[in-house]
Structure 1
Amino acid sequence: MKDVFLNLLPDFSSLFQLHEDGLTALFILILFAICVYCCSYIFVKKRSSIHKINSLVQLFQKYKDQDVYLQKYEFEQDISAIRDLKTGELAKDYKDTLIFNSQDEKVYSSIDSEYYFNTETLASAITHNRLLSSIPSLLVAAGVLGTFVGLVTGLRGLDIHSDEIEVLKSGIGQLVAGISFAFMTSIWGVLLSLILNFVEKSVERSITTKIDNLNGLIQEIFPAITSEQNLQKIANNTEESKEALQELHEKLGSTMQEAVRGLSQGLEEAITVALNNVMKPAIDSLITTTQDHSTAALEGLIDRFTDGLHSAGKAQEMQLRAAGDTVNQAALQMGTELKSFLEVQQQQATQISEQEQARQEIVNQQLAQMREQYESFLQSTSESEKAQQEVTARLLSQHEALLTQLQNVTETMRINGQHLDNSSNQLGLLSNNLKQLVDSFNETLVHVAQNVEKASEKNNEVATLLDSQFDALAEISMSLKETCNVLGRSAELANDGFKNLEEHQTKFLDDLGNEFAGITDLLVGEVDRLKESVRESLIDYNEQVTNQIADRFKEWNTQTISFANNMSKIVATIGDLVDEIEVKSKYSGKF
């Protein structure tokens, strides 16, 4: 038996000799070195893995009989104290999966500890090393390779064609030595493979057992919580959250209703106070200023217009009376002179009876025409005076109507001010009434603009009437000029027969022409001045009223737009708050 084992040992003394025993010893030594290196590597990595596992076992064994929930900070400190970085990272990752339940003050594991602590994470160099796992097979393959090498070497040394016995013995001896090399390498390859495989599996089993014990300890300290339990707890918590959210929704709804009610009341009071303190004085001052300016401007305009009309009427009346007196005196004087002239002519009638009769007829016709023209002139003058008085009365009535319309406009503005005051008191309901207020305000602006346009139309009508009056006066002046021309022609016709009458008639016509020319120029000047004064006054009044109304309503429009924008922002904020409450209520209703 002993000899058998001795025969299996290679002859290491012939290691450096170039024959079959030396080659066998070298080959087996290489296989033995590989096996020793792998076993050493396995034991070194086993020691490292055992150190990692023991550090974790010491960590968790410390808290086996203690409450980890109450010693959370110390547990984290101990994890940080682990020297091996990879093991410490694994422990931290596993700690992050732990659930610290505050209800029962326990710590649960949401993920199995084997996911973090297994052979791959703690002993991957041994259990998951594919090269190390293939070494036993490589040793067997090396032994088989040595077998084939020995057989090939032994067969190559055998000379079967030789007839010499010594040669055959030598070949058979070489064949036996080759077979010995072949089977020796196979035996040691298989043997070393078995040893290495046994060592590897034993170490792997030992490490796996320790890791399983570690996981059992961890599961004992941190009981696992299943997904069904998590779902059940989630369902229970969801139901409780739903009830709590429902109660919170009800409380929040009532609280928000009270807050919105208080906010609405506060906003209404604040808006009312702000409008009463800011807008009402501004509107009152606007109305008062508009009334004062309109009344003052209109009174000044009416006073100036009335004074101008009265002065012009008095001047025209005095001038017409003076002209009438002059015409009457001239007519009386002319009648007296004609009577004396007729008496003289009657004395000379015998000599110039035919001529005198013809001339008398001509003179009578001319006198009749002159009387008719004079009567028509007096009638036209009286009619012109009446027409002027009617125009004056019409102007006064129109200006009274204009004053009435302006008073109506003022009253309308006062009513609008009252409406604005009422609207300012009702701005607490701004979300529904603000549009109506703006529409009413726009209608008021349109109404005021229409009134201003009507006033402008009335002013245009007055200007038209004044133009027509000016045209009538121009026609009167033209008729007077035509009358003067007719009288001049009549004087020229009577000049041949009446030399004395020519002097008086020339003087009368000159005086009458001068008087009527002066009257005409005076009337034209007065009418022009009156027209210009009325036009300037109306233009000034129209500009003042338009500018004042535009400025006041521009300021009111700016304040109203600013207030509307602020209230729109408030309404939008309240709407966003209500939408957020509805979203929260819907979200709570889903759970």
Structure 2
Amino acid sequence: MQEQHFSLTSFVPDVSLLFSSGDPKQLTAITFVVIAGLLLYFLIKLLREFHIAKRRTAHVAALVEGVDKAQLPTVYRELRARARERSETVGDLWNEFHESLVYSERDDRVYNTLDAGHFFNPYSLARGLTDNRQLAAVPGFLTAIGVIGTFAGLQMGLSGLDLSSGDVQVLIDGIKGMIQGASVAFISSLWGVLASVLFNAMEKSAERQVRSRIADLQNRLDYLFPRITAEHSLREIQEQSAQSTEALQGLAERIGDKMQEALVQSSQAIRSGLEESLERILAPALAKLAENAEDNSRAMLERLTDTFLDRVGSQADAQRDALAGASNSINQAIESLADNLKTSGQAQQEREERMSGKMDELLGRVVGEFERQVGSMGTVEADRARRMQEQLKASEEARQQHEARMSSEVTGLLQNVVSTFGQQAEAIGAADAQRTQKLTEQLEALGGVSERLADLKTSFGELVDAHRATIDANRKNTVAMAETTRQFDAFAKNIDQATTKLASGVDGALESAGQVSNAAQQTVLQAQQLLEQGGQLSSRLNEVITEVREISKYSNGGLETVEQYLRQSQEHLKEHVAELKESVQSLLDEYADRVKSQTVERLSTWNEQTEQFTRSMVDSVKLIQDVIDEMEAKGRPAANAYR
């Protein structure tokens, strides 16, 4: 046998044989060109997506290049406009990132509420490279094309083998064709696998570089914009609350001190003002009152004396006139009545005694009246002075009580102010939270009420439309099931033809398939009947809905019962349709299982026969090879002898 030499050039297909028909290597050239073309196309697309991802990442990185934390409070708003100038995609991403930034005036820093990876990640910057399912499937495409070429080459090699011929040369030519086809087939698989490995390596390398750049960008942004967490915010709120509490306490103390000072000053001012007012008002009044009392007493005494003297003078004059008249009368009586002198003298004496008693009594009364008036004037003046003193004393006591009461009230007021500030500082957070929660609940309740009113307004119309749509859907399902029945008939015919070609034993399967098809048709008829019943039920429901609408004009109380009845009717209709679907699905599943089992059985039989045929073919090939080796062994001595 000749020595076989191997070379790597045998792996390279001859592209010049691409258009030469009849050569087995043409298939290798075609497969190679297809694999190379697809590899080149997807490599260009990979490089394009890689360039786009690098450019977007570079644009974002250029925005913060040369910027430190101290400059951010003044330039972070300008970065938004600069990002929009570079690229629309980068501008949109930076706009979303800018909305999450928070400026803190306390430490003059810019914080971020979310990580940079939430906005700048492989999905947002390199979606066409890292999440491209088409590029991810390219290695599989290339390998599949190579495998297709392999099977095509094997088929071409096996098609040239004629085992029915008894000629040895024909068998040898067939074996050579089979071997050439196998070589062509394996070269196609080789190039498919090589192209797949090459593309996969380049794709993973590009993805790794892009992810590395994006990770560096995320670290840079997280360094420039530290994230502010909820715990940090709560801690700051707690510190501010503590500072507010301390400030309120200090403010309460200062307010108390100031109010005490103001009270002391006001008390002193009130006391000095009262003293000055009393001195300015009461002193002249008392002096004037004393002067008036003295003048009044003197004038009263003078008036009483004048009155007494006037009355005594008038009485004396009257008495004198009476005495003169009496003397005249006496003289006349003495002259006229000398006889009665003694009697008249006695009567005159008695009258004089009575007159003297009356004069004494009148004088005593006048004197007593005068003394009584003088005493009453003294008592009145004494009472007036005593009452004035008591009023001054009561006024001083009332002023002192008022000052004490004002002091206690101010102290209590300060305590109430301090306690009120503390309670308000403690309850302000809870009150705001409750108020916000109540407002949110009220808004949600109002939204739910408005939605419920809108739903109630359109519920009956939608129910009628839903029933009509259900009727149309049932009719469409009837048409679809009839079409499915026709497809099953065609499928049964195709199975009949296929099973006729496989083996004669498939006739029983076709008969059973026909029976199942008939059963399916019967099921479809039953389904149509059920759908007709459903249509009748839907029409009845429409009539019921019409009646309910008429009744609802007169009675609103039965709406809930009617709605419940309609829902039950709709549920019953859905249950009927679901049972119909389940019955049809079960029949179809049973039919598919039967066809599948019979097909698998026939295919397994065909595989066994094919394997037996393949074994017999392999045995024949081995036998032919042994015969050829034996012929070559026997032919060598003859050839040597001939030489």
TM-score range (shorter-chain normalised) is 0.3 to 0.5
Greater relative contact order structure (CA < 8 Å, 6+ sep): 1
TM-score after normalising by structure 2: 0.38
Structure (1 or 2) with the larger CA radius of gyration: 1
TM-score relative to the length of structure 1: 0.41
